[in-house]
Amino acid sequence: MSMQTNVDFQRGLVEARHAYDNRMLMNPDPSVIISSQVISAFWGKYLPLDPAVRGRDPCVWLQNILSLPKPPSEVLLLSLRALAMTRLGWVDKNEGLGLQGNQYYGRALQVAQKALYKEQARYDDELFAAGYVLTVYELFESTTPSIAGWNSHVTGLGQLIQARGPEKHKPSFARGCLEEFRTSAMIQGIQFRSSSFLNAGEWLTIPWQEAPKDVYQQLYDKGFALGALLEDIDQVGTIGSDTDITVLSNLLQRAAAIDRNLDDWYERIREESPHPLYWHVQPSAPCSRISSSSSSQIREPSRHSPFTFHTARLACIVVTSWALKLALSVNIALLCKSIISTHTSVRISGINDFDLRSQAHCLLPKHGDPHRMKLATNIMRSMPYTLNDNMGLWGPQKSLFALRVALAALRGHPGEDLKWCQRVYQELDARKGIRYAREIAKVESKWTFVRKDILPLSIRDAWANEVPAVEPPAPAATETSECTGERLLL
Mean pLDDT of the chain: 78
Task: Give the Cα separation of 263 and 367 in Å (integer).
Answer: 14
CA atoms lying within 13 Å on the CB side of residue 309: 27
Query: If you write DSSP's letter for every residue of 150-196 in order, what string do you get?
Result: HHHHHHHHHHHHHHH-GGGG-SHHHHHHHHHHHHHHHHHHHHTT---
Residue 427's nearest CA partner among 287, 288, 290, 285 is 290
Give CA separation, 89 vs 94, 168, 388, in Å. 4, 36, 20
Flag the least confident range among 41-45, 89-93, 238-242: 238-242
pLDDT over 90, % of the chain: 40
Flag the least confident range among 358-367, 405-414, 452-461: 452-461
| Residue 203 pLDDT > 90 | yes
What integer pLDDT is reported at residue 10 of this predicted model? 54
pLDDT over 70, % of the chain: 73
Helices (H) and strands (E) in the chain, counts: 19, 4
**393, 84 contact by CB (below 8 A):** no
What integer pLDDT is reported at residue 235 of this predicted model? 87
Query: If you write DSSP's letter for every residue of 237-288 in order, what string do you get?
Result: -S--TTS-HHHHHHHHHHHHHHHHHHHHHHHHHHHH-SS-SEEE--TT-GGG
What integer pLDDT is reported at residue 122 of this predicted model? 76
β-pair partners for 352 = 347
What integer pLDDT is reported at residue 40 of this predicted model? 86
| Residue 473 pLDDT > 80 | no
What integer pLDDT is reported at residue 283 of this predicted model? 58
What integer pLDDT is reported at residue 263 of this predicted model? 97
Over range 230-251, report the average pLDDT: 81
Task: Give the Cα separation of 450 and 330 in Å (integer).
Answer: 7
- DSSP symbol at 487: -
Q: What is the pTM of this model?
A: 0.81
Task: Give the Cα separation of 407 and 25 in Å (integer).
Answer: 37
Quick: pLDDT tens for 389-448.
889 889 888 998 998 899 888 877 778 888 888 888 877 877 777 776 666 655 444 445
Positive or negative CA dihedral for 233, 234, 235, 237? positive
Quick: pLDDT tens for 67-123.
888 889 999 999 999 999 999 998 888 999 999 999 999 999 999 999 988 878 778
| Residue 66 pLDDT > 70 | yes
| Residue 303 pLDDT > 60 | yes
